[in-house]
Amino acid sequence: MTATQIDSNKMPTKGAIVSAEEGINKTIVDIFKKSLEKKCFDAILIPVRVPETEAYAWVLLKDQSLLDEANPLPPIISVQGAKALRSLTKRGKMTQNIAAILRPCEIRAAVELSKLKQIHLDNISLISIDCPGAMPLSDYLADPEKSKKIYKNVLEKWGENNSVRPVCHICNRFSLPSLLPRKSEETSPVEQDEANLPSIDLHIGLLGGNQEKIFLIPVNPKGRKILEELELKSDDSLDIWQTKVSEVQDKKEKIRKEFNLELKEKIEGQEKLTAMFNECINCHNCMRVCPICYCQQCFFDSGALTLSPETYLSRSEKKGALRFPLDTMLFHLGRMSHMVLSCVSCGVCEDACPMSIPVAQIFSLVADQTQKSFDYAPGINKEEPLPLQDFLEDEFHEVETPKEVN
Amino acid sequence: MSNVLKIKKGVEQGANELLKFLLESEKVKGIFTLRKMNENGAVSYSLITHPKELQNAVPLFPLMPVNAGKILSGFTLKKAINEPIAAVLRSCELRAFIELIKRTQGSLENFLLISSTCGGVYPLKSLTDGTYKEQVSQYWESAKNAEISSDIRPTCAACEYFIPQQADMTIAIVGKNDLQQECSIFLNTKKGEEFTIGAPGNIVSEDIDTKETAKLREKRQEQKKKLFDELEKNGSGIKALVKTFAACLSCHGCSKACPICYCTLCDFDSKTHEYLPSSHEIELEQKGGIRLPPGTIFFHIGRMIHMVVSCVNCGMCSDVCPVNIPVSTIFSKVGDSLQKLFDYLPGKDIEEPVPFGTYKEEEFTEIGE
């Protein structure tokens, strides 16, 4: 989606500008320490560095000292944040007030999972942050020290440093606009207010702050209340941030378009697509780390596709040889048709692929096209139904009517 | 001493010659072996039924995309094959298949098992980053000289069970000076001999255990000790476990790739391990902070308890780990100790029951006292 589609009434113009003299990370962490002190929240879900290692894990914490090692924007996405949130609230709502600090793609996945009844968002405050992208897991693990330096540069030179994952490099949904309800002409103003409330409460703006300040942007009344409780006045102008966001967004949209055109060329058609997945070893890591693939047991792991040896033999005889494990391509296409309308292009699938198949790039490209045909943007609005959940009588007539044969 | 079929061709071509003979003479209905997928070096297992497809067969290629034992188990899960099929697989893959059969996950019936004295395989990563191309050139040289090929999987470098136990035929690689000129196929069973009647080449009598294989075994044992000692340097106990598995994504890829982990739905993926928000809140109250998703280490320990007595050290788990945790080294160290306690070598003998499948009254009495 583009900035022009955003309902301009929903784009906040005022927020609190907070000085970040001690660094962005510490400034944000201190704000959340204060929020625990002031009892705005009972607990915070945030990435925390595992002691004595360079690894990050999601930790739900109420002990303020645990925030010392927290990092709202680590160089990598380890577990997709929505997956962490799902493990917490799948079976019901929290009774305590939780703040979850997530990257925009993680927010979108969380909202999709709530539509899919996998997350209870009650009592959860979703807080998003401007995201410059994450580095590939393998790069980071190969040399964490070097990667941290590179990532510092990624944060300074927003959008210009190429060291982030390919899907991050072409991500145009890195900030608040990607999380705001879109303008709808079909719904009446009243309906729109009911159904079109943003899913997030607060956004942390980094763009335009030059590493010297951050923008705390309340998105709805709850967000404004949080800032009040933190004794922060939200009447600063957000012009600098907004200008920079639009600027980067325009640039990213251009990059994305070009990138996807090239990718399409590489993968279009059965032969090329099959070649892309040639090296797949059927480990299903992509599905296991995908936030949207929530099935307890994937159909492709269920044994439903186990056949008798005679069937395998006769299938082999048709072609001369039969590849094992079977159905690798069927798995990817099956998974794609199941989840791609909700794909948030977070890239964790590609990070987890031991064969370095560009899974995320392919899925993201297909997602763009399918989501567009349903005029659907995943993860924005809790109330917007999933495309395959509601039936519109007047839709896709062109697939019902065969083209005339000359 | 056993009968050995000698084919006057390099070991790789010789192996292909044997497969061609078996398929063309219709002694077997199909051949299950590694096949080249593209020019980048990608290989996958295939069931080849047409001789012309054998031109892409690379039965001895030093990569293991999947543990073949797992595939053959899936192949024969519904029922045994009723026509002969030749399967070319490595020692640890064969052992995995036998462990799975002991657990009623497949059948050996009608398989002609062809294996090799194994020089090890390269990590899958060396395929994706292209380094295998340089490595593979010295692979055969190392095998010939009964040396550990550099850059092979850590568990391969530490594997002393490179001579297969239950194969009908074994293609000799380790310590074979003449492997560029001659392919030696040991006929270990009557079945192996019967299937090679009429095959090209001549029969001689040789021993599979040689000075050279003893030499490699010794080197691998040394390497194994070194590998395990290094692991111990990282410390032990809960703290070391937390550190080792710090980056774990809970993707459970290790379990999915493991040939022994055959459960359709792992307990750790089931509802048993989904907790009520109230349980999370109680734990949060007690500890001040909880890692999510929960149970990272619980999963690894649980999986270990379930399968490690049958662990064949194939190294698939480490290869698929997206965060480079040395899963296979850890599991093979624990497996080694546990298997010794039970005097059990997984996959060595199909008649030998799995330790937890039998009960001996007089065993480990010291634990009860």
Indicate the domain borders of chain B. 2-224, 227-368
Probe site for chain B from A279, A289, A348 (most B CB atoms < 10 A): A279
For residue B210, the tally of other CB atoms under 10 A from its CB is 16
Check whether residue A254 and residue A273 sit in a common domain.
no
Check whether residue A275 and residue A246 sit in a common domain.
no
How far is C-alpha A202 from the geometric centre of its chain's CA atoms? 17
A59:B292 CB<8 A: yes
Over residues B132-141, the mean pLDDT reads: 90
Q: How many CB pairs under 8 A join A and B?
A: 220
Position A158 in a domain? yes
- Using DSSP's 3-state secondary structure scheme, residue B291 falls into strand
- Is pLDDT at B49 greater than 90 in this prediction? yes
B37:A312 CB<8 A: no
- Answer yes or no: are the C-beta atoms of B260 and B311 closer than 8 Å: yes
A282:B66 CB<8 A: yes
Kind and range of the H or E run holding B6: strand B2-7
Decide which of A211, A233, A260 is a domain's last residue: A260
Q: Which residues of chain B are within 8 Å of residue A325 when distances are taken between CB atoms?
A: 45, 66, 71, 74
- Is pLDDT at B321 greater than 70 in this prediction? yes
Encoded tokens for B300: 């690894």
Cβ contacts of residue B178 below 8 Å, gap of 6+?
A: none
Encoded tokens for A242: 């907004």
Probe site for chain A from B284, B298, B328 (most A CB atoms < 10 A): B284
Encoded tokens for A304: 């439903």
Q: What is the pLDDT of residue A17?
A: 97
Q: Which residues of chain B are within 8 Å of residue A62 when distances are taken between CB atoms?
A: 284-285, 288-289
Check whether residue A239 and residue A305 sit in a common domain.
no
Position A105 in a domain? yes
Q: What is the pLDDT of residue A1?
A: 41
Count up the domains in chain A and report the number.
2
Nearest to A352 by CA among B256, B169, B96: B256
Decide which of A213, A244, A260 is a domain's last residue: A260
CA angle B120, B186, B184 (to 5 degrees): 75
Check whether residue A153 and residue A287 sit in a common domain.
no
Check whether residue A152 and residue A237 sit in a common domain.
yes
A60:B257 CB<8 A: no
Q: What is the pLDDT of residue A188?
A: 47
Decide which of A203, A236, A260 is a domain's last residue: A260
Residue A79: which of B37, B56, B250 has the nearest Cβ? B250
Encoded tokens for B57: 């067969």
Position A327 in a domain? yes
Kind and range of the H or E run holding B203: strand B202-206
Minimal Cα–Cα distance from A25 to chain B, Å?
Answer: 20
ipTM field:
0.94
CA angle A343, A349, A351 (to 5 degrees): 135
- Work out the mean pLDDT of chain B and round it to a whole number: 96
Nearest to A183 by CA among A405, A391, A380, A402: A380
Q: Which residues of chain A are within 8 Å of residue B275 when distances are taken between CB atoms?
A: 87, 91
Residue A61: which of B124, B269, B289 has the nearest Cβ? B289
Q: How far apart are CA B22 and CA B16, in angstroms?
A: 10
Q: What is the pLDDT of residue A4?
A: 39
Minimal Cα–Cα distance from B118 to chain A, Å?
Answer: 22
Q: What is the pLDDT of residue B63?
A: 96
- Is pLDDT at B253 greater than 70 in this prediction? yes
Q: What is the pLDDT of residue A197?
A: 72
Check whether residue A203 and residue A318 sit in a common domain.
no
Over residues B211-226, the mean pLDDT reads: 98
Over residues B298-320, the mean pLDDT reads: 97
Check whether residue A233 and residue A310 sit in a common domain.
no
Could you report the per-residue pLDDT of B9-27, keeping only the tens digit for each? 999 999 999 999 999 999 9
Q: Which of A396-400, B75-79, B314-318 has the lowest mean pLDDT?
A: A396-400
pLDDT per 10-residue tile (average), chain A, 406 residues: 51 94 96 97 98 96 97 97 98 97 98 96 97 97 96 91 94 95 58 67 96 96 95 95 96 96 96 93 97 96 93 96 94 97 98 97 97 94 87 81 65
Position A247 in a domain? yes
- Is pLDDT at B48 greater than 90 in this prediction? yes
CA distances in angstroms from A63 to A85, A147, B50, B193, B346, listed in the order given: 19, 29, 66, 71, 47
Host domain of residue A174: 3-260
- Is pLDDT at B203 greater than 90 in this prediction? yes
Q: What is the pLDDT of residue B356?
A: 87
Position A406 in a domain? no
Q: State the Rg of chain A over Cα.
A: 22
Q: How far apart are CA A31 and CA A15, in angstroms?
A: 15
Check whether residue A245 and residue A281 sit in a common domain.
no
